[in-house]
Amino acid sequence: MVGKDPLSDVLWADFQKMDLREKARYLNHDGRPFHVLLAQQFDRHMLDELGTLATRIRRTAKSKSGMRFLAELLDHKRAMLTFSQPSTRTFLSFYAACQILGLKIAEVRDTSTSSEMKGESPEDSVRTFSSYFDLLIMRTPKSGFTEKTAYALSNTERPVPIINAGSGKDQHPTQALLDIYTLQRSFERVGGIEGKNIVFVGDLGRGRTVRSLAYLLTHYPGVKQYFVAPRKLQIGQDILDQLDQSGMQYEVCEDFAQVLPEADAIYMTRIQDEWDTEPGESQRIDTSQYHFKAEHLRQIRIHTAIMHPLPRREEIESAVDHDPRAVYWRQVRNGMWIRAALIATIFGREGEIRHYYDMNLE
Ligand code: CP
């Protein structure tokens, strides 16, 4: 890091009162992400740069010599993955991204094996991790915990970056980055993301991936967002307020079949019943019309991207998987490349990757 950590220059009480865009200014250092906690940290220029870098890494990694080059970039750094909520994709794609860049990795996935069982606070646990590692990647069920931790670490003698790998019901910024990268790639030949209709379907009230992506889409002029869900699972007013502030078009509706022909991307989501406040709460909501079936393939456009952050249950029929418009397995792999691009950027290695790419692959 060059210069003073901005988070060490503000009182916690004042930081807590800030809106997300204001907070974001304290998390980036010298125009690059340091702690990665919020989608609000990324402007359009950063999204374009990250996508380009992810593609350079992806193409460089196709050869053994390219893999060797990448694996030396951060082989003097160590990363800690601490996931106290279940994860397959985010955990493994960060794990693989660290391996690509040569970082050495340790993990805690089960807090019953840590000294938290002896009464240590999660805050002290994280401070301990930061004593041994250069990067913390954290998934937690507690909204706001990554912010608290980033603030605490930025006010120690060894401030190490924290990446939010999913926090409570509020944010999943790196999922939104991989979703944007997938949209960039899907719409490469049809004019980019600008002006496209993006349809979100399912549990939009409790799905953190939608909340982060809806914000990032405000950087693309002409995009219209559709939020299609049963009333009890609809998108939060705070997200709609953000879209209003950004002058974005959106529509909130319940009829899935009606919006299908309009869609350039359909972002299906799972019912997040782990957040139920009483037993059986989600089961009492009829979500059967919010499933993408093989018969719907006839109703969508030739370039429509069918997306899902995964894991899925019955909201996309497996018969859809073989259609070229189903891009959810590509999303999974894109997650590894964009996370590698993000880590390389945090540590300021993007210039070396660009130079290697220009010399060897352009
Ligand atoms: N999309 C996503 O966050 O998947 P995991 O929960 O498997 O990490």
pLDDT tens per residue across span 42-77: 999 999 999 999 999 999 999 999 999 999 999 999
Percentage of residues in the chain having pLDDT higher than 70: 99
If you take atom 1 of ligand 1, which residue's CA is the nearest one? 309
Compute the distance from residue 180 Cα to the ligand 1 centre, in Å: 16
Tens of pLDDT, residues 17-32: 999 999 999 999 988 9
Q: Does residue 287 have its Cβ closer than 6 Å to ligand 1?
A: no
Q: What is the pTM of this model?
A: 0.96
Q: Alpha carbon of 262 to those of 33, 190, 266, 295, 299: distances in Å?
A: 35, 15, 10, 16, 9
Fold of 173-332: Rossmann fold (3.40.50)
User: What is the average per-residue pLDDT within 159-177?
Assistant: 94
What is the distance in A from the centroid of ligand 1 to the CA of 88? 6
Q: What is the mean pLDDT of the chain?
A: 95
Q: What is the pLDDT of residues 96-108, one digit of tens each?
A: 999 999 999 999 9
Q: Does residue 129 or residue 302 have the better pLDDT?
A: 302
Ligand 1: does its nearest atom lie under 6 Å from the Cβ of 311? Answer: yes
- Identify the pLDDT of residue 69: 98
Instruction: Decide if 205 contacts 33 (C-beta within 8 A).
Output: no
pLDDT band at 3 (very low <50, low <70, confident <90, very high): low
Chain region(s) in the chain for CATH 3.40.50.1370 = 6-171+335-352, 173-332
174 within 8 A of 163, measured Cβ to Cβ: yes
CB of residue 87 inside a 6 A radius of ligand 1: yes
Given this model, what pLDDT does residue 149 score?
92
- Are the CB atoms for 98 and 125 separated by under 8 Å? no
Print the SS3 string covering 129-198: HHHHCCEEEEEECCCCHHHHHHHHHHCCCCCCCEEEEEECCCECHHHHHHHHHHHHHHCCCCCCCCCCEE
Closest residue by Cα to atom 6, ligand 1, is: 87
C-alpha 6 – ligand 1 centre gap (Å) = 31
Residue 155 Cβ < 6 Å to ligand 1: no
In CATH, what is the architecture of 6-171+335-352?
Answer: 3-Layer(aba) Sandwich (3.40)
pLDDT digits (tens, 9 = 90+) for 111-120: 788 888 888 8
What is the tens place of the pLDDT at every residue in 221-257? 999 999 999 999 999 999 999 999 999 999 999 999 9
Over residues 278-293, the pLDDT tens digits come to 999 999 999 999 999 9
For residue 175, the model assigns a pLDDT of 98
How much is the pLDDT for 122?
80
Q: How confident is the model at residue 2 (pLDDT cuts 50, 70, 90)?
A: low
Query: What residue's CA is closest to ligand 1, atom 4?
Result: 89
On the question of pLDDT at 79 being above 80, the answer is yes
Ligand 1 pocket mutation pick from 310, 316, 334 by most atoms within 8 angstroms of CB? 310
Sign of the Cα torsion 204, 263, 192, 335 reads positive
Ligand 1 center from residue 274 Cα (angstroms)? 14
Sign (positive or negative) of CA dihedral 184, 185, 191, 195: negative
212 within ligand 1 shell (Cβ under 6 A): no
Number of the ligand 1 atom closest to the C-alpha atom of 309: 1
User: Could you tell me if 4 and 119 are in contact, meaning their C-beta atoms sit under 8 angstroms apart?
Assistant: no
The predicted structure's pLDDT at residue 24: 95
Residue 169 has pLDDT above 90, yes or no: no
Q: How far is the CA of 69 from the centre of ligand 1 (A)?
A: 29
309 CB near ligand 1 (under 6 Å): yes
Residue range 155-171: mean pLDDT, rounded: 92
Point out the residues that are catalytic: 89-90, 118, 139, 172
In this prediction, residue 1 carries a pLDDT of 53
Tell me which H or E stretch contains 337.
helix 328-346
310 lines ligand 1 (CB under 6 A): yes
